[in-house]
Amino acid sequence: MPYNRAMTNLDIILPFAFPPAEHAKDLLDALQAPGLASLLAKASLQQHHDSAPFNPALPHECWLSQDEENSPPVAHLLMQKLGLTTQEGHWFVMQPANLHIARDHLVLTDCRDLLLTESESRELFALAKPLLTESGMTLEYGHPNMWFLRADQWQTLRTCTPDVVCGHNIDVWLPRGEGEREWRKIQNELQMVWHTSAINEKREAEGKPRINTVWLWGGASHKQTASAGCALLVDSLLQQNQPQHLRTQKSFVDFQTAQQDQVETQTVLLDQLIPSALHADWASWLSAYAELDQTWFAPLAASLREGQIKKISLYLSDTDRLQHWQITALSMRKFWVKDSLKRLAP
């Protein structure tokens, strides 16, 4: 592989890299990731950050957006990526969603599981838009799983990302602050309109989740400049909301080949473990991890040994913490250090 000056330093963000404590031993015994084992064994810990309870986003989302007070401000950038004319005002991402009952509370289903078609989404959108118009707001369609709501008066509203809420009681994650009462009223009216929709009857008959709510997050002003971290989150969101057969997963070789900007440090978000972890599907998590090792971590370890990359920073996270590990070409020469994944243990 030819040396590429653009690859001098590489930052890798790997959400849900850590196994849950209750299954850690069994999962780490089963995990086939020799490339990552080689990198981690020779890495030095630079930072350990524990998330505050009920953060508005997952640790890697907070780190990329550099904000632990609100969900990442991605609405304008998403609109731009989806071909919508970027408009003035404060916009939110408004995602059609499913709530299911778990004992005595409501839980948000992973929005990736909705299998919402273009025609279904547009019909639901047509039912929703008059409600928002009556409230003096603007609703725009962008994607079957992503609509956009302009609410200039809600600039201080605290919202949470769907992934940090997924699988939890939604009560503590609902929007808080100026506009929260108005939003809940709109949300309740929307739920009633959709409850008897023929679309939901048809989806239920097909074994698909009902679309019985919307999730609001990602508020951003047209005056904000999207950060590089938010751009990575947007690309990940668009990719993961594609139908399975249209999703593409780049390897390290693909990524290196595509680099044109001669910059000192490149940053990559590897999001393949997220859906498996959110569903607690640990067999799928092991499989996705093994594939990542073949396509990313093993080639990265080889590139470090050969001096093609000088330094790699690994940002590993789960729902509660984020750790920054650093590996250099020099540290990879520690032949006496045994490769191991034990640093992934709780």
- Name residues whose C-beta falls within 8 Å of residue 336's C-beta, 6 or more positions apart in sequence: none
pLDDT single digits (tens) 158-200: 999 999 999 999 999 999 999 999 999 999 999 999 998 899 9
Alpha helices (H) along 56-117: 59-65, 75-81
Average pLDDT over the chain, rounded to an integer: 92
Query: What backbone torsions phi and psi does residue 18 show, to the nearest 5 degrees?
Result: -90, 135
Q: How confident is the model at residue 261 (pLDDT cuts 50, 70, 90)?
A: low
Separation CA 92–CA 147 (nearest Å): 8
pLDDT exceeds 60 at position 42: yes
Predicted local confidence at residue 56, as pLDDT? 97
**Prediction pTM value:** 0.93
**Helix, strand, or coil here: 224?**
coil
Q: How confident is the model at residue 246 (pLDDT cuts 50, 70, 90)?
A: low
Inter-CA distances, 294 with 28, 122, 226, 247, 337, Å: 17, 40, 32, 18, 21
The 10s digit of each residue's pLDDT in 270-315 is 999 999 999 999 999 999 999 999 999 999 999 999 988 999 999 9
Say which CATH topology domain 75-221 has: Alpha-Beta Plaits (3.30.70)
CB-based burial of residue 98 (10 Å sphere; 0-12 exposed, 13-18 middle, 19+ buried)? buried
> What are the tens digits of pLDDT across the range 94-132?
999 999 988 788 999 999 999 999 999 999 999 999 999
The reported pLDDT for the residue numbered 86 is: 73
pLDDT category at 1 given cuts 50, 70, 90 is very low
Predicted confidence band of residue 3 (pLDDT cuts 50, 70, 90): very low
Where are the domains positioned within the chain? 5-66+227-344, 75-221
The 3-state DSSP class for residue 191 equals: helix
Question: Which pLDDT band holds residue 5 (cuts at 50, 70, 90)?
Answer: very low
Measuring CA to CA, which residue among 241, 253, 235, 236 is closest to residue 215? Answer: 241
Whether 145 and 114 have beta carbons less than 8 Å apart is answered as: yes
Q: Which tokens is 232 given?
A: 């990575």
**Tens-digit pLDDT profile for residues 45-101:** 999 999 999 999 999 999 999 999 999 999 999 999 999 987 799 999 999 999 998
Encode pLDDT of 17-31 as tens digits.
999 999 999 999 999
